[in-house]
Structure 1
Amino acid sequence: MRLERSPAVADQVGRLAAAALLAISGYIHFDLYRDGYRVIPRIGTMFLIQESGSFAVAFLLIISGSFVLRLAAAGLAGGALVGFVLSRTVGVFGFTERGLNPAPDALNSVLAEIGVLVILTALLVPAALRWRRHRIATAAASLPTLA
């Protein structure tokens, strides 16, 4: 007897994992904010917004799997990654850092954010394929038959 995985169960597990990773990223940003980033003009505020948004969207993602929440989660994770890259290359509002400092928070945050994006992408692809198959089947069913 072969057990089939339900797309709904896989989706829920994926959403929980993405929410957990997003919350981890939010906690890291909060911890860095508390440990000194709060005094850096604009950067402190951005860290606080990242933390607040991450916790809020992570909580809501557990409750609902709406496309808008998934998009918000991807936006928060992707935005944090872009900010990380910019802060190590051209700088953000005159603020620059080097490498994976502060360690280990920088690496943990990057891994959590990449994890969010990977999970959300992994959830999106099968759903998009199911939607496409449904559209093709619906279109085929509506074609007139040649008799």
Structure 2
Amino acid sequence: MITDSTRRIGAGALIATGVLHLVLAPEYLGEQAYIGVLFILGGLTAAAIGARLWTRDDASAWIAGALVAVGMAVGFVLSRTVGLPGFHESEWELSGLISVVLELGVAGIAAAALRAPRHHGAVTA
């Protein structure tokens, strides 16, 4: 089991990347609508999972949070390298790099949380 502080750092990073995607969504809706929609869906999902992890250590939420975070990081890298359908950016914006750092941090903390021993049920002496 990871500490509450570590869990909250991971949850906070997931919430932060979710909020960042929601703030940037209008810009991307204007550039390529489906990218903007993905920003909204990813942002809402990340924030919701982060809120759950803020209050409890939940293996399912860690898995979902890691998948969302890694998916968003991969999407950013692909959009700057090989491009996405109808969308190819050449600039590696600071907001995107910050988001990737947060997302990879979430994935790392999720991996640690999922490897940690879990306590099920009451402990007896």
TM-score class, shorter-chain normalisation, is: 0.7 to 0.9
Work out which of the residue numbers 69, 74, 77 in structure 2 matches 1:77: 69
2:88 pairs with 1:108: no
1:86 and 1:92 in contact (8 A); partners too? yes
1:11 and 1:123 in contact (8 A); partners too? no
Q: Show CA shifts across 1:11-56 (max 9, x none).
A: 322221111000111111112113x112222101000001100111
Residues in 1 aligned to 2:73 and 2:64: alpha-carbon distance in whole angstroms: 14
Residues matched between the structures, number: 118
Work out which of the residue numbers 106, 114, 122 in structure 1 matches 2:112: 122
Classify the secondary structure of the residue corresponding to 1:127. Answer: coil
Which residue of 2 is the match for residue 17 of structure 1? 9
Which residue of 2 is the match for residue 137 of structure 1? none
Which residue of 1 is the match for residue 78 of structure 2? 86
Aligned residue type for 1:110: V
Gap regions ≥5 residues in structure 1: 1-6, 131-147
2:49 pairs with 1:57: yes
Normalised by the length of structure 1, the TM-score is: 0.73
The alignment yields a C-alpha RMSD, in angstroms, of 1.8
Identity %: 32
Cα deviation for residue 99 of structure 1 reads 4.3
Structure with higher Rg: it is: 1
